Amino acid sequence: MATESSDKDNAVRQEDALQPEMVTVEIAGKPFRVPAGITLMKSLWYTGHDVTRGAGCLGGFCGACATYYRTKDDPKVKTCLACSRAVEDGMSFSFAPPFPARKATYDLNQIQDHKQALFELYPEAPLCRNCNACTEACPQNIDVREGVWKAVFGDFQAVSETFMDCVMCGLCAPVCIADIAPSLVAVYASRAYGVREMAKPPGLFDRIKAIEEGQYHDDWNRVLRMTDEELQEIGEC
């Protein structure tokens, strides 16, 4: 990466950059000194931990690095994605272990009544006791409890919107006293909404038909015979 610039207005003192401030964190119960401001994930590598389970996309989208953490003197254990949170002095954290939640299996095209089927696939879903622990456990700030209720009430469109941010980290499941795995309920409801409730987009089907009927044959014949120079020139077809 380029780090040189001749723009003096923006120049920084490199010695400041090279000597990072250090903070103390506790990783799975052991104290370590790490540079301030690095992500929890980088602090694991920095302190010599080999990471196999627990790292995925490293960009906040896959949920592999679901982590429990606590900040200094605060009794509240919170959750985050280790790739997307910075260390703070006095922070304690551990990866969340994989949780053996039950995923129902289904064929969305065979199901008779997709809303009723929710209660057969996930009979625990309506047993939510409103404790709100799932919402508090969500590192994506999704209103998980509300989403579960919307699924139970059959508003699958609302579920799909509520859970569009869901990275399937699964942190909502271990805290559920009714043994609901909300992210799995949401995937079912969201897919069922797409398959069973969304209208087919007419333009797409027209285009597929046009391709199958060979409407573009002449254009292809013309274009595929062109030289690179001719292709560069035509631009629009």
Partner 1 sequence: MDVQPLHAAVHKSRDARQRQTLPRLSPAERDALIKKFHPDHRQAAYRPIAFGPNKGDLTVHELASILEGDSSIPDDLPLVPDHVVDVLVVGGGGAGCAAALHAHGQGADVLLATKLRLGDSNSVMAQGGIQVAVAPNDSPVQHFLDTLKGGHMKNDHQLLKTMVEEGPSIAKWLLELGVLFDRDPDGNLHVKKGGGSTRERLLTCSDYTGLEIMRVLKDEMLNQRIQLLEFAAAMELLSDDQGACTGAVLKDLDNKRFVVVAAKTVILATGGIGRLHIQGFPTSNHYGATGDGLALAYRIGAPVTQIDTFQYHPSGGVYPEQLVGQLVTEGIRSEGGHLVNAKGDRFVNELDTRDVVSSSIIRECEEGRGVRTATGRVGVWLDTPLLEVESGKGTLEKHFPAMVRQYERYGVDIRADPVLIYPTLHYQNGGVKIDVNGETPVKNLWVAGETSGGLHGRNRLMGNSLLDLMVFGKRSGLAAAARGQTIVQGRLTLNHLQRFRADAKQHGVTHQMVSPMVLPAYTRQ
How far is 71 from 74, CA to CA, in rounded Å? 6
Residue closer to partner 1 by CB (options 7, 73) is 7
Q: Quick one: which of 29, 75, 100, 235 contacts partner 1 (CB under 8 A)?
A: 235
Give min distance, CB of 109 to partner 1, in A.
8
Tell me the DSSP string of 119-132: HHH-TTGGG-----
Is residue 45 at the binding interface for partner 1, with CB under 8 A as the rule? Answer: yes
* Residue 201 is a binding residue for partner 1 (CB under 8 A): yes
Draw the binding track, 1-40, toward partner 1 (x: CB under 8 A; -: no contact).
xxxxxxx-xxxx-x-xx-------------------xxx-
Q: Are 155 and 97 in contact (CB under 8 A)?
A: no
Looking only at Cα atoms, what is the longest distance across the chain? 73
Report, in Å, the least distance between residue 91 CB and partner 1: 14
Q: Which is nearer to partner 1, 113 or 130 (CB)?
A: 113
Number of residues that bind partner 1 (CB under 8 A): 83
For the beta sheet containing 30-35, the strands, ordered from the edge strand earlier in sequence to the opposite edge, are 30-35, 22-27, 92-95, 66-70, 78-81
Q: Which is nearer to partner 1, 98 or 177 (CB)?
A: 98
Contacts of 181 (CB under 8 A, 6+ apart): 101, 102, 103, 122, 170, 172, 173
